[in-house]
Amino acid sequence: MPEYTGDSSFHEISCLQVRTGVQEIYYYCVYKMTKQNVVKAFNKRPKTASLIKENGQTEYAKLKKIDNKYFFEHLYESDENNSIAQDFFYKFKKLKDYEIYAYFTPMVMHQIIFDKNSDTVYHRVRNVIY
């Protein structure tokens, strides 16, 4: 996680890589870091155009809070049957209270789940390989 280089609050990291096909690689990570520092790290990333709107304006990638319902309806399905992901990453569903954030670019999608009762972070990265 190069975004967090030099941040002493980043620790206890566990990650695994899952290739779901020729063109997709998923990284599932669980680590300890304050929400404030995660958000700060993503805000420091270079501006990457994520979308050109109909009016021609460019929308830049940024870390955004997303609705839990949207996450489970649109972003959760692709690895629902992956037992490795279920056993390792999706333990967050057992948390009492959590928030989901997303960061989208054309090639990479980050989904970050913050445990609201600790500094535990569940981080899923989807890389599309062309």
H/E stretch holding 129: none
pLDDT the model gives residue 19: 78
**55 secondary structure, DSSP code:** T
Check if the beta carbon of residue 17 is closer than 8 Å to that of residue 25.
yes
Coil, strand, or helix at residue 70? helix
- CA–CA separation, 108 and 68 (whole Å): 20
Classify the phi-psi angles of 126: left when phi > 0, otherwise alpha if psi is within -120 to 50, otherwise beta: beta
Query: Got the DSSP string for 73-127?
Result: IIISGGGTT-HHHHHHTGGGGGSSSEEEEEEE-SSEEEEEEEETTSSEEEEEEEE
For residue range 49-90, what is the model confidence (pLDDT) as tens digits?
A: 555 566 666 667 778 898 888 887 766 655 556 666 767 777
Nearest to 27 by CA among 62, 64, 66, 1: 1
* Backbone angles phi and psi of 12, in degrees to 5: 55, 50
Check if the beta carbon of residue 99 is closer than 8 Å to that of residue 114.
yes
Q: Is the pTM of this model over 0.85?
A: no
> What's the whole-number average pLDDT of the chain?
78
User: CB under 8 Å to 36, separation ≥6 — which residues?
Assistant: none
pLDDT the model gives residue 114: 94
